[in-house]
Structure 1
């Protein structure tokens, strides 16, 4: 299969490396200097240092050429940009006059300005496109790049897109499950990042494993309430893209969002943390959107609210935790 991966961040790079062991794969990035470095070293020293990429993986600086590579009916286009870049990329496809027949995206979060999920962005920008969906689940790019086992879910209303995604990715140490609850999968992928900031704050303050377990469990309840209100199915949040992704992101040392929380607990400012991180922390970008959507629907999300107060309202982590502990008792 011919596959084009659009976006050479850590996750796009790791998945392109996996795909290239089985398929004719090209990795595109808008930064020509990054493409030159990748072509020369077969290593993404900027985003995935130390992970050697297969020699079969090709690198492409030309956007139109990358789209052409994935334009056939038996090809696949993988969008690996952050949510913030998804709308622009879809518009660029239209402008280039080449919209691949089958598109799957990897980004997790809500678009900050519009509060749209990725599937809503794609539907608005490519309204005639039908064979598309999201690939999500508990995954760290570095471990995938190292060939360690991982299980992901592709969610789509298109059986053809789901089958093509399975054919592309389901080999080696990667297992792909299928489903059609696109909204549920995307809400899980977005909200877990906000909740991981909360668990990072708790861990950074030394509040213990009991507190972490409580935050994950009650956070899952928040995620489920919002997801169902937005049109997702409750059972989705007990699967890989809900509970599974939440556990990994809230507890794993490779989690960027958990790192943000831990460093906030240490007294560093958000600007300092993000400058040093060097990667996107989607929980910071979409926290306000998550809270706004919840409030507009009358849904209680106290953990998410506490995270927003720390991120944007100059509330200290300890004061935010104290406010959570001071809430009235209620039935679970």
Structure 2
């Protein structure tokens, strides 16, 4: 098998990861449905819609033909929006072979089924979930393509698959750690987008650093609480996929989720926000999924709950903040149930 990797699809993060692989002198083929985008990448070495002003490696190529993209690849990296992952994996299936490494870097859930992305991919490929690797961590595409120092984590139920992904991506500016907690890394990457929306909304309301620091801290507790109930290791949320990704997503103007929240805080409607963004804002779909998941597991997620009211029920953002501040008195250490705490300490 050649030293080839395929990246599906050519959004900002997919293009950035393709650039990392191209810098390792790999034969990198990016798949896109858009013929104009294909031609722009191949002829001009640019992807202006998603990464304006960035010149891509000249040997990074694009195609609209899934077979051409995947055939002979030793690794396939899926970076589609969460709503498109199942369709992309289904298109990949006829060209997938058992010896291909499958990595995904999508941060979200399949909203309708509430399934994690690795589960969706495994179902469509007809393989064990242990074959799938998730890549996550604090990593803006805009900085990765400029070769800024970046550190991420790859996780799989199969340690050999995680190690293979580590070898695939690691270079002088892109450092990669491994983790066996697939569930935790995947949940952390998805759920932090909710808190980033809230942080942007707080900034849009002009509430300052005190409010945002509290939001991030309590948001991390909220993410950890539901994550542990779903089978994750609580330590994962103190690592790169947890607090690391939360900080970078909730404090930067590079973050779509922060920008969307900011516009909401300024008084824009959800329709106005989505119309102005021009890209997928995963935190919006994830908020809906998390609201349902919290009810299913009977775990309190007060920040996600109030954001759900703002996004889908028309609640004024200031009213949502008042509801959070007016909650009953709590102890700070209510992160997980006593039963789950004992499970992790026995």
TM-score by length of 2: 0.92
Q: Is the contact between residue 105 and residue 134 of structure 1 (CA under 8 Å) also seen in structure 2?
A: yes
* Residue aligned with 2:71, SS: helix
Whole-Å separation in 1 of the counterparts to 2:196 and 2:98? 35
Q: Is the contact between residue 4 and residue 69 of structure 1 (CA under 8 Å) also seen in structure 2?
A: no
After TM superposition, list the pairs within 5 Å mapping 1:53-202 onto structure 2: 53-70=56-73, 75-96=74-95, 101-129=100-128, 130-202=130-202
Whole-Å separation in 2 of the counterparts to 1:279 and 1:145? 18
Unaligned stretches of 5+ residues in structure 2 = 333-346
The residue aligned with 1:7 is: 9
| Residue 159 of structure 1, CA deviation | 2.6
| 2:54 counterpart (44, 51, 54) | 51
1:298-317 per-residue CA deviation (whole Å, 9 max, x = no partner) reads 11110111111100011000
Distance 1:56 1:97, change over 3 A: closer
The residue aligned with 1:242 is: 242
Unaligned stretches of 5+ residues in structure 1 = none
Distance 1:100 1:64, change over 3 A: farther
Confirm whether residue 28 of structure 1 aligns to residue 27 of structure 2.
no
Confirm whether residue 205 of structure 1 aligns to residue 205 of structure 2.
yes
Whole-Å separation in 1 of the counterparts to 2:185 and 2:76? 20
The residue aligned with 1:257 is: 257
| 1:41 counterpart (21, 39, 44) | 44
| Residue 99 of structure 1, CA deviation | 6.6
Whole-Å separation in 1 of the counterparts to 2:95 and 2:76? 15
* Residue aligned with 1:69, SS: coil
Distance 1:179 1:280, change over 3 A: same
1:39-86 per-residue CA deviation (whole Å, 9 max, x = no partner) reads 11101011111111011212222111111031xxxx111111111111
Confirm whether residue 223 of structure 1 aligns to residue 204 of structure 2.
no
Whole-Å separation in 2 of the counterparts to 1:275 and 1:115? 26
TM-score by length of 1: 0.96
Whole-Å separation in 2 of the counterparts to 1:160 and 1:60? 30
- Superposition misfits of 4+ residues, deviation over 6 angstroms: none
1:8-34 per-residue CA deviation (whole Å, 9 max, x = no partner) reads 000011111111011121111111121
Q: Is the contact between residue 202 and residue 262 of structure 1 (CA under 8 Å) also seen in structure 2?
A: yes
RMSD between aligned residues: 1.3
